[in-house]
Structure 1
Amino acid sequence: MKTKTLLLASLLLAGLAKPMAGPLEADVHLTYPLTVKKLESIYIDARLYEYDPWLADVSATLVDHVVLEDVDFSTTADSLVDIHFSAKRKARMKYYIAARTYSKKGGPLYFFIDGFQKIFEHKDDEEIDVRMKSKLATKKPKGDPEKVGGNDDDGGEENSGKITGIYRAVEIEWDGTDGAEFALQKSNDLENWETVESLVGNGETTSVFLRVSGHTQFWRLQPE
């Protein structure tokens, strides 16, 4: 029995001592069902999280975040949006994605991923298809899904970029009943409150990053 115990302990320690693996790359194809309502200038918030499956009381960590704005959806077919995530795998960690789509930033929620969408379970380079759940009335599409946007588009132009600003941000951790909608609000005086983002609970602790100004700010969640 002592020999078996020592062997098990050695195996566990070997698992904990695994070095960090290589980069993680994923192409996630989000399919949005055609809705009765015409959708223009849509705001898409997609996130990649990592979590430790051995620590049940520790919240997940955001490792990649993609935001798409002013996306016009198809008026005749389902809409397809391609999201590319990248990160670096850590030993023992697991990963999942979350995606929410709003009428605009801070506006009503239109689409979300229904369920817990795991990723990178067996490989570091992955491509998956996810059908978004609609909160709007839908109708039968005509033809194949049409690609309407994604963070893999470069329009055939040479890629370029520059830093245009550096700001302080706050990470707010929260949890809510699965499917319940909340308004995240801020205030400078605890009397006047401004809604800065609409959130939907998934039954687990999640986080959201927001820019903050130099003066004191208070935060609260209000059911919608």
Structure 2
Amino acid sequence: MKTPEHTLLPGVAFCAWNDSETLARDLAGQVADRLRQSIETRGGALMVVSGGQTPVDFFRVLSGQALPWEKVTILPSDERWVPADSDQRNSRLIRRNLLQGAAASSRLIDLVETDDQSPEQSAERASDRLYPLHWPADVVVLGMGEDGHTASLFPDAPELAFALSADAPSVVVTTPPSQSTVRLTLSARVLSGAALTALLIRGEGKRVALEEAVSAPLAIGPMPVRYFFQQPLRVVWSP
């Protein structure tokens, strides 16, 4: 069961579900519909998804949707600079939970390749790979931390202002002191403007953080997720 959808800010809708499984089914249906529309209109679809454990149920339900998956390109919103076989890799989690069954025929573009010698090289090479894609993306599914970060746009990252700027490349290296690893992230410019942008969050801590974020939507630096309040956004939450 879900609560009635209501508006948090102009263009920002919020809906709460009683459990993550029901939320996952609803969101997967909406995402699949949007992907189908894009495939019918231009012959392909581009989707960006976040990592972590929060979207796992959603990934598993979405992978079972009837779609011409071979026409779908998928990107992680961000990545950790860790070995390719590390369970901390978002791309690894996406492969295990979303690229299954029919969805295995979709194309996943990694932000880090095995022969990259540095995070900076990864960011440069990934930006080159992403340049020819159809932008803006058709679907972007973001997550949020209790500190208000989204993707790897962290409040304490020295590179945050650059990653939020209109001149940022597609992929930016961030080095937030609060995190144990260097990150690569799609810039805010690239993450913006999708036909469907959803913010998928779970747990009371993140609901409290969301309330804080919407209380001062223009103060982007302390809570970078606020950047995405400037465009149509659907926030979905479950305990």
TM-score, normalised to structure 1, is 0.25
Higher strand share: 1
Structure number, greater radius of gyration: 1
TM-score, normalised to structure 2, is 0.23
Higher helix share: 2
